[in-house]
Structure 1
Amino acid sequence: NPHLNFVYRDPENNFNRASVKGLVCRLVKVKQPHTARALEVAAGGKLYNVIVDTEVTSKKLLKRGQLQRRTTIIPLNKISGHSMNQNTIRTAEQLVGKDNVQPALSLIEYDRELRPAMEWIFGQVFICRDMATARKVTFHERIMKKSVTLDGDSVDPGGTLSGGAAAKGPNVFEEVNKLKEPEEALARKELELAVVDQEIINLARVAERFNSLKERLDLRKHEVELVRQKLQQTSHHRYQEEVDNLKESIAKLGKKVVECTNTVAGNQHKVNDLEAKLKNVKALKETQLQTAKNEMVRLEKKAEESSKQWKQREQAYTAHQSHHFILGKEAVENEKLGGSTYGRTTQDDGGQHTGCEAAIIGIPKKISSEVIPRDSMIVFDLSKSSQTDDQELADGFQQDISTCYTSNRSLGEICSFFQDRIISKNPWPPRFPKQTPPQIAFYQDF
């Protein structure tokens, strides 16, 4: 609907568009949608009037606003409207019922500043449920006000009636409501666009300022380069370069001097120690030499003692091995000589081992009568062992011999027993690095 838009140009520069309030139909909000048709008929063509703040604004718009069609403008400071008397409203409500009649002004919402215009348009109209109600209200002698039914039929106190077929299509207020949301979105976008346009303008100004400053900077750089080239061609510039180089060298040498000073201070105590040692080197040498001699004498004495202990151990080991060999040999001979005696047994428990006892008792006597060459083995006499360092070994042999009296062992088992006994009593077998120890063997022919 083209009548729902009011298009104009600003009549002057810096024109305040807030002074133009807009079309009446866009400034009214219907409280109850089913009364929209009646309100549209009640207002009539006034819905397309334009409300402004003053008559001055209305004159500017009419003269220089370049309006596209004929327009009625309502200045708020000049329009005069009146709302309906409360007594009249109560009379109508008592006449047809409160639910059947309502003042048109009570069915709309609007800004307070627009009240004069709204009273002028809707202030003297009733909205009734049907035509019969409208006639009662309109032609009552104490009311005499225009009435409009919900279907859009109107009754004028002058006697004019209008009605007929209901209007087709949406009413003005419905069209306005449909346009309200898109227009609000459009207004937001226009506002954003205005902000963006302003930013573009500001950026354009900044860019222009930047380009101007950049040109000036480039010009100054060029001038500085020209001055530098001129300075390089003068003697003053050469002297300045030499001074800068000397300052840099002085700084480096100063750091090196500090480092060398720290090194000298750190090594001074080492120098002092070496000087003190050089002064006392002779006395220190003599002291160390005497210490070495004393240690050498001590080690020689220890070596002699170790040699004596070695010889003693070697002799003891040779004696033990010789004893072992003699016992084995005597055991074999006695078994050959007394085999029949060993084999006799008696029923008396005390005489079961007579042969074994005789063989065992004869071992130490036979050993004591043997003479063994000195270079091959040392004679060991069990009868004299109590006077030697092997007293413990001799006592053990005598105890073992007594044990054999009551045993049932053969002569070979007895020899093996004495062999293990001798070895267990000699836990320190010495080493013979220069000679081979005597070989001990038992020859058992049983």
Structure 2
Amino acid sequence: MNGLLRKAPTGQTWRSLPPLLRLLICSQLAFNIGFYAVLPFLSEHLGTKIGLAGWLVGLVLGLRTFSQQGLFAAGGALADRYGVRPMVVTGCTLRIAGFVWLGYAEQLWTVIGAVLLIGFAAALFSPAVESEVARQAVMWEEAGGGPRTGLLAMFSVAGQAGAFVGPLLGAVLLSMDFRTACLAGAAVFVLILVGHLRLLPQRIPGRPPTRGRGGVRAMLRNRRFLAVCGAYGAYLLAYNQLYLAVPRETVRAAGSQEALAWLFALSSLLVIIAQLPVTRWVANRLDLRRSMAVGLVLISAGFAVVAVCRPAAWTGVMGLAPVAGFVVLLTVGQMFVTPAARAWVPDLADEGRLGLYTGTMFSVSGLTVLAGSAATGVLLDAHLPPAVPWLVLAAIPAAAIALLPRRADQVR
């Protein structure tokens, strides 16, 4: 783990990365452009256009996350067994179908079917891509290229660049209608599919298929790994409030969701600008546990900012300022949490099971979001003092710090 604390060499450039790693990082950029052109606006579409109650909106969003993160473990195990390319190709195909279906869905059961298909598609391609990026990052570190967290931070930056472009594209398309945004998202994934069919290798050197069964029991006995999963799940539940609590607060303060695209753009732009400098700073000063703990504290503080200001019931620019503060603190906290969690998993995973372990971390997170999203919808609908929901949400990442293993330099 000492390699994680070295300063990244200044000569590390994009061109020095292996072609496969460049392709996978670009994949994350493209995935998020297609995804964020649609999903940030789904909550308002369900509530105003289709007329679902708040708890149903929360449930649908939770089901979407569960069908994605909740099934990552299965997708990761399939990637270990069959390879990266089949999972990416199949996942892109299903996501195209899901976005087209969502564009035409007008009843609850059709919306649920579409979001489940969209989520399941990501459960196939995301664990394959993320586990291979983590494996490549470890190889990069062992070859003397620099800390693995640096490459994983670059992966996060690519994802956030997509998350920056996606909502802006979606906001433009929504001037027409939600269906147009969905069809545009599907078109993006058509381009991704064609690109991967041409460029992604059939077999990736150094990652032979894992034919033997098993691995799940050993993983479930790995308490340190499960503790990291729990803490990461609390982070993801907090992050999911960008799709549930933030849209509601934005509409309350501004009277519409127009500012929502700009809040998402703010979050993404912060990651694009600051993720790599923050990761370099962290690599020289904090181990993985402390990095995750600092991130969770910042996220909790973001909820607390809104809780303190919410009783004043400000509107307009003043009303948007607290939720913008939350987005900033959530984003900075994310910069600490996500590279550290992703860098930790390869040291905790059994040989040949990195896809399973990577997928399971996101599956546990998906279960957390599924349980928490419907509850959050009820909490936000309840007739409570306005600060209470945000205080409850602030307590979740703060409590998750206690789950983190005490030392990051021990595998078990």
TM-score by length of 2: 0.18
Higher radius of gyration, 1 or 2: 1
Point out which structure has higher relative CO (alpha carbons under 8 A, 6+ apart). 2
Q: Give the structure with the larger helix fraction.
A: 2
